[in-house]
Chain A
Amino acid sequence: GAVVSQHPSRVICKSGTSVKIECRSLDFQATTMFWYRQFPKQSLMLMATSNEGSKATYEQGVEKDKFLINHASLTLSTLTVTSAHPEDSSFYICSAGQGEKLFFGSGTQLSVL
């Protein structure tokens, strides 16, 4: 199946710093990518839809100024968690679609100290 690469897999940062997470579609182009967040023992929650060449669409309750999304090319979307705080600690997962299917990255575990 199609491959979605996500980097880094794990990041630890200090409170107040910013963290960038990259999501790449390796063998296909994706005009749309999706970013999810997952807290321990919970299901995945959609945060935002990343659109190549235009602004991202955020789900209700997700702060667009805190979670900056850039989709500069057909194979790369980035999520930047700005001024991270301990409550932002979570598992972040990206996804991209090819045909009728969505494929997911391996996820990024963010720990904010």
Chain B
Amino acid sequence: DAKTTQPTSMDCAEGRAANLPCNHSTISGNEYVYWYRQIHSQGPQYIIHGLKNNETNEMASLIITEDRKSSTLILPHATLRDTAVYYCIVRVATGRRALTFGSGTRLQVQP
């Protein structure tokens, strides 16, 4: 799995968009960008994943640069419940291999 780099922590005001960056300059052509989050004392939660096109679902949007070396997870209207550690993981698209977690970005949504 390609290595990813994320900021250690970020703050965001409640109601504003939270933009979480991730660098993955060594990504391979068949590797996807996955985002998970872990709210305190819970298991990780799947958010979104994509290969090269931008993706959107009910939770978030994923913007991947054209060269695929970086991406941004966007939470359009952050709430206090979005306070969590967000993990950007790059890997082939399969549910048959474990995920390797880095240290992630700790997002604190402020009231």
Q: Chain A: residues with CB nearer than 8 A to chain B?
A: 1, 4, 6, 31-32, 34, 36, 43-46, 49, 91, 93-107, 109
Contact = CB atoms under 8 A, between A and B. Distances in A.
Secondary structure at the B interface, as helix, strand, loop or mixed, is loop
A110 to B, nearest CB: 13
Interface string B96-111: 1111111110000000
A102 B45 CA distance: 9
Given A43-B104, A44-B101, A46-B100, A105 B43 contact: yes
Interface of B: 32, 34, 38, 41-46, 49, 87, 93-104
Contacts of A103: 46
B96 A104 contact: no
A102 B104 contact: no
Contacts of B42: 106-107
A43 B99 contact: no
Contacts of A4: 43
Contacts of A1: 46
Contact of B102 (A43, A46, A102): A43
B43 A104 contact: yes
Nearest to A43: B101
Given A44-B44, A101-B46, A101-B49, A32 B96 contact: yes
Contacts of A96: 95
B104 A106 contact: no
Contact of B95 (A93, A98, A107): A98
Nearest to A10: B41
A100 B104 contact: no
Contacts of A99: 95
B98 A34 contact: yes
Contacts of A36: 98
Contact of B45 (A49, A91, A97, A104): A104
Nearest to A96: B95
Contacts of A49: 98
The 3 A-B pairs of least Cβ separation, nearest first, read: A97-B95, A104-B43, A100-B93
